[in-house]
Amino acid sequence: MKRKSKLFLIVAGIMTALGVLVCLVGYFVSLRSGERILAGSLDNGKGYTEFFGAAELDKIKLSVDDADINIIGGSDRPYMEILNFNESLYSFTSNSAMITFNQSPDFSSVSGLWESGFSFKGLRYFLFPGTGKGDKVINVYLDSVEKVKSFDLFSESGNITLSGVSADSEFNIRIGCGSVSISELSADCTLNIQSETTASPVKINMDNTEVSVLRISAPKAEIKASALRARFCDIEVTGGSADIDYTPIGDTGCSVEIATSSKLTVNGDAYEVSSQSPYKYGEEAPDKDKLAAAEGSGDGNGENTVKKSYLKIKADDLSVDLELHPTEPDPFAGEDDAENNS
């Protein structure tokens, strides 16, 4: 055998060995970091399915540009569908503590070079490029067993939907030019909805929603809430409209405070109010410090510092039509009492 041929074979053998070594390093690094070289399963080239469970997740964090996010309860087992995305334009990580999806990652987030050491997070999507066709959607299916402490959901121009969810989680929703739809939600949770876009009003639709705390913050909003039941509602919107059918839940009545320079009707009666002279019903609403102490487990001693439920709306030019119902017993009080007495 010629000398050049031997040299070529030696170099080829070394390169092959290095390639195998790199693959093994990548595999073990991905296992250690809880990340996967390939997603759970491929669905006819259109998306991936990721199953999770057997432990309590700290967070599910989803960030998309032009896609819809759906959180759906009542599933037999918890899993996530990632549909019709271009595989080279998002990163996805999954471990025992957190599931993260980020559309349009930059190179540093994909390679992980600027994070804590080298990892292969998202690199699979550059190795297996594709073109997603159809509407981009992320579906998260929840069962009645799996617990997720918090959801961080963001969509720039898509829609976010919560349907049939009973998880006692914290939901932080940020929306751009899309809409938020919530139906059949019943949970001892905090629901935060925020929008910073001023181009057009964000649409927020709620139907048969029962939560502990609801916060809405947006420059402009069109809010429609039917059969809304909550301990505390805090709505701060510059302009738009709000049609709210509200039943406070608590033990000692309800307080309502509404400040707007636009039209206000409460149970069919019209009122003239302003930021300096708001509409008030019941006792004065608690301030934010007292509200924060009242949420969750209370003040740290097993006692909520605020017993009365309240609805507070602060706006410059928000048309408000409120249907206010008598206070009903708190459906979550028994759970808190059981925890406090244990």
State yes or no: pLDDT of 137 exceeds 60. yes
Residue 297 clears pLDDT 80, i.e. is over it: no
Tell me, yes or no, whether 198 and 319 share the same domain: yes
CB contact set of 166 (below 8 Å; sequence gap of 6+) = 73, 144, 185, 186, 187
Q: Which tokens hold the place of 41?
A: 């399963």
Nearest alpha carbon to residue 331 among 181, 226, 209, 169: 209
Of 84-93, 169-178, 197-206, the least confident = 84-93
Q: pLDDT tens-digit profile of 247-262?
A: 998 877 788 999 999 9
Shared-domain flag, residues 183 and 329: yes
Do 135 and 214 fall within a single domain? no
Residue 209: inside a domain, yes or no? yes
Per-residue pLDDT at 302:
34
Give the residue carrying structure tokens 């999806």.
101
Q: Does residue 66 lie within any of the structural domains? A: yes
Asked if residue 7 belongs to a domain, the reply is no
- Residue 179 covered by a domain: yes
Instruction: Tell me which residue has tokens 């080298």.
Output: 118
Predicted pLDDT at 204: 97
Q: For residue 220, tell me if it sits in a domain.
A: yes
Under a CB-based contact definition with an 8 Å cutoff, are residues 207 and 227 in contact? yes
Per-residue confidence band for 292, with pLDDT thresholds at 50, 70 and 90: low
Check residue 93 and give its pLDDT.
85
Q: What domain range is 80 assigned to? A: 39-158
- How far apart CA 292 and CA 212 sit, in angstroms, is 12
Q: Give 235 or 108, the one with higher predicted confidence.
A: 235
- Pair (197, 148) in one structural domain: no
Instruction: Tell whether 134 and 251 lie within a shared domain.
Output: no
Structure-token match 């459906």, residue found? 331
Are residues 205 and 307 both part of a single domain? yes
- Burial track 10-32 (b if 16+ CB lie within 10 A, e otherwise): eeeeeeeeeeeeeeeebeebbee
Model confidence pLDDT, tens digit, residues 15-72:
888 887 876 666 565 545 444 444 444 455 567 888 887 567 889 999 999 999 999 9
Write down the pLDDT at residue 176: 92
| Percentage of the chain modeled with pLDDT above 90 | 42
pLDDT at 258: 94
148 and 189 assigned to the same domain: no
Same domain, 148 and 254: no
Mean pLDDT of the chain: 78
Euclidean distance between CA atoms 42 and 279, whole angstroms:
56
> How would residue 135 be classed by pLDDT, with cut points 50, 70 and 90?
confident
Q: 161 versus 276: which is more confidently predicted?
A: 161
Amino acid identity, residue 5? S
- The model's pTM is 0.75
185/298 same-domain check: yes
Quick one: pLDDT at residue 179? 95
Please check whether residues 183 and 131 belong to one and the same domain.
no
| Average of per-residue pLDDT across 108-131 | 42
Residue 309 lies in a domain: yes
Which stretches within the chain are classed as H helix?
A: 3-33, 107-111, 124-127, 288-294, 333-341
| Residue 290 pLDDT level (bands cut at 50, 70, 90) | low
Judge if 194 and 147 occupy the same domain.
Answer: no
What mean pLDDT is predicted for residues 161-187? 92
Q: What integer pLDDT is reported at residue 246 of this predicted model?
A: 95
Give the domain-ending residue among 135, 158, 181.
158
How many domains does one find in the chain? Answer: 2
**Tokens (6 digits) for 107:** 């190179």
Residue that terminates a domain, selected from 130, 158, 186: 158
Domain match, 318 and 254 both: yes
Is position 8 within any domain? no
- 140 or 301, which is more confident: 140
Identify the pLDDT of residue 85: 86
DSSP state of 334: H
Final residue belonging to a domain, choices 116, 132, 158: 158
CA 313 to chain centre: 23
Which of these ranges, 12-26, 113-127, 144-158, has the smallest mean pLDDT? 113-127
